[in-house]
Amino acid sequence: MKKSFNISRRSFLQKTTLAAAAAGLPLWFVQRRLDAAEVVQPVNSPNARPGIGLIGCGGMGQGDANNALQYGDIVAVCDVDERHVNAAAQRFAQNGKAPAKFTDFRRLLERDDVQAIVQATPDHWHTLINLAAARAKKDVYGEKPLTLTIDEGRHVIRAVRENKIVFQTGTQQRSSAYFHLACELVRSQRLGRLKEIHVFVPAGTRGNHFAKVPVPAGFNYDFWLGQAPAAEYFTERCHFTFRWWFDYAGGPVTDWGAHHNDIARWAMGLDGPVQVEARVVMPPLPDGYTTPSEFEATLGWANGVTQIIRTTTAESPGGGVLDANGQRNGIRFIGTDGWIWVNREGISASDPELLQAKLPDNAVKLATSKNHMGNFFDCIRSRQDPVANVENGHRSACIGHLIIIALRTGLKLQWNPETESFTGDGATEANRHLAREMRAPYDYKFVA
């Protein structure tokens, strides 16, 4: 049943036109998004607001939880760092009542008043928490990338589907009108035959010879390390800088790369590439962060498309500057009939008509979401799949994992996206990297 609005058609069209013009989007596309999916409205009725548990209370976690507050109530928070737990509990207190505090996520998942989880821990903890939440029948909004390894994704998909939970991967660009438009245009062959995709991501960080300091009071460092190997503590290993260590993440490959490679795959509608090779452009410093700060990778897809992923820095001579605004972070799709450039700031094309001309009614129409967190809570109510479901989260995360395996082995590799295994030369060595040894007790038994 559609809602009625006390607004004239003329006024509606005027506002829609102004919004489209301000965003640089074609009117036909804005109107169709309005028809396809309404913005999920904030839920004010106490009985309709699910209880939310926040696991991972750092900056990203608190930001995600703040977005979730429109649709539910933060009733519990968890982090292995008590400073983060206390800060989150204070921030999300309502009517003088603070959320329950935990340092072990398994205890939070036992609560009956928690129906949904917002999960924003370092990458190496994503899988075990997602598995435990699925088995506890909690719906999950899980930060990207979905997993630390390709093999972990298979476990998460099985748990999500067997337990019938709603899972939204935090690749929020799928809910952006700019990326949605770019992908539909590419899928509908507005560029003719797609030939190349160029992905540009910000470079990572270099650093070394970190000072060893005592573990801060209230920080369970062994729990934080989890499945990763035991290692001496220093500040640069944890919290935000975890992403520059292969033990916990994938550096720039899986940081911004997780977002842009997801969009590249969405635009093609394929499960994964069939070939990958990569090289280190700027190696890590000795006795420092382990992920290379700059890299270049080339992917071959079954449809004949070549995808190139590069890191860019402000100092790179011409690196990644693709338009008059000097953009260094985004995606360029190149076809036989022109190109489209898109990032979070906007969308442009070799010919404006490529964007403005309306697609035919029988053109490809991708899933529409105008608010990534809102889409998650809408699907909690409808029990439908969200725009970035678990399978999409896994397949897009695999792209980053494949690049990392190519970087670490130095091999040009053939990949079968159906069997999720390497074939041909170097396959035996590369397949050893599909999974990593998990340090006890933080292995799969930890959440069995």
Mean pLDDT of 440-444: 98
Residues 6 or more apart whose Cβ sits within 8 Å of residue 132: 105, 106, 109, 447
pLDDT surpassing 50 at residue 320: no
The per-residue pLDDT for 33 is: 87
Counted residue by residue, the chain has a size of 448
Residues 6 or more apart whose Cβ sits within 8 Å of residue 28: 358, 359
3-state secondary structure of 299: strand
Mean pLDDT of 30-54: 76
The DSSP 8-state label assigned to residue 347 in this structure reads E
Residues 6 or more apart whose Cβ sits within 8 Å of residue 90: 98
| Helices assigned H by DSSP within 37-122 | 59-68, 82-91, 105-108
Residues 6 or more apart whose Cβ sits within 8 Å of residue 83: 216, 218, 219
The per-residue pLDDT for range 218-245, each reduced to its tens digit, is 999 999 999 999 999 999 999 999 999 9
Contact yes or no for 213/426 (Cβ under 8 A) = no
The per-residue pLDDT for range 395-430, each reduced to its tens digit, is 999 999 999 999 999 999 999 999 999 999 999 999
Distance (Å, rounded) from C-alpha 395 to C-alpha 272? 7
3-state secondary structure 203-229: CCCCCECCCCCCCCCCECHHHHHCCCC
pLDDT surpassing 50 at residue 1: no
* Sign of the torsion formed by the C-alpha atoms of 222, 228, 234 and 238: negative
For residue 47, give both structure tokens: 């009985």
pLDDT surpassing 70 at residue 215: yes
Mean pLDDT of 366-385: 96
Query: What are the two backbone dihedrals, phi and then psi, of residue 46, each rounded to the nearest 5 degrees?
Result: -55, -35
Mean pLDDT of 172-181: 98
Contact yes or no for 426/433 (Cβ under 8 A) = no
194-202 and 306-312 strand pairing? parallel
Mean pLDDT of 336-354: 96
3-state secondary structure of 287: coil
The per-residue pLDDT for 10 is: 52
Distance (Å, rounded) from C-alpha 144 to C-alpha 176? 16
The per-residue pLDDT for 318 is: 41
Distance (Å, rounded) from C-alpha 53 to C-alpha 119? 8
Mean pLDDT of 304-312: 96
The per-residue pLDDT for 374 is: 97
For residue 14, give both structure tokens: 């005027």
Residues 6 or more apart whose Cβ sits within 8 Å of residue 353: none
Work out the mean pLDDT of the chain and round it to a whole number.
Answer: 92
The per-residue pLDDT for 24 is: 82
The per-residue pLDDT for range 10-21, each reduced to its tens digit, is 555 555 556 666
The DSSP 8-state label assigned to residue 341 in this structure reads E
How far, rounded to the nearest angstrom, does the alpha carbon of residue 285 sit from its chain's CA centroid? Answer: 28
How far, rounded to the nearest angstrom, does the alpha carbon of residue 65 sit from its chain's CA centroid? Answer: 16
The per-residue pLDDT for range 155-172, each reduced to its tens digit, is 999 999 999 999 999 999
Q: How far is CA 63 from CA 54, 124, 174, 377, 403, in A?
A: 11, 20, 18, 16, 29
The per-residue pLDDT for 252 is: 97
Q: Which domains does the chain have, with CATH numbers?
A: 176-209+235-366+391-447 (3.30.360.10)
pLDDT surpassing 50 at residue 324: no
Confidence of residue 316 (pLDDT cuts 50, 70, 90): very low
Residues 6 or more apart whose Cβ sits within 8 Å of residue 293: 203, 204, 205, 206, 244, 251, 252, 282, 284, 311
pLDDT surpassing 50 at residue 317: no
Distance (Å, rounded) from C-alpha 105 to C-alpha 228? 18
Mean pLDDT of 88-104: 96
Instruction: Provide the residue type at 160 as one letter.
Output: V
Closest CA to 328 of 416, 199, 439: 199
For residue 336, give both structure tokens: 């036989």
pLDDT above 70 as % of the chain: 90
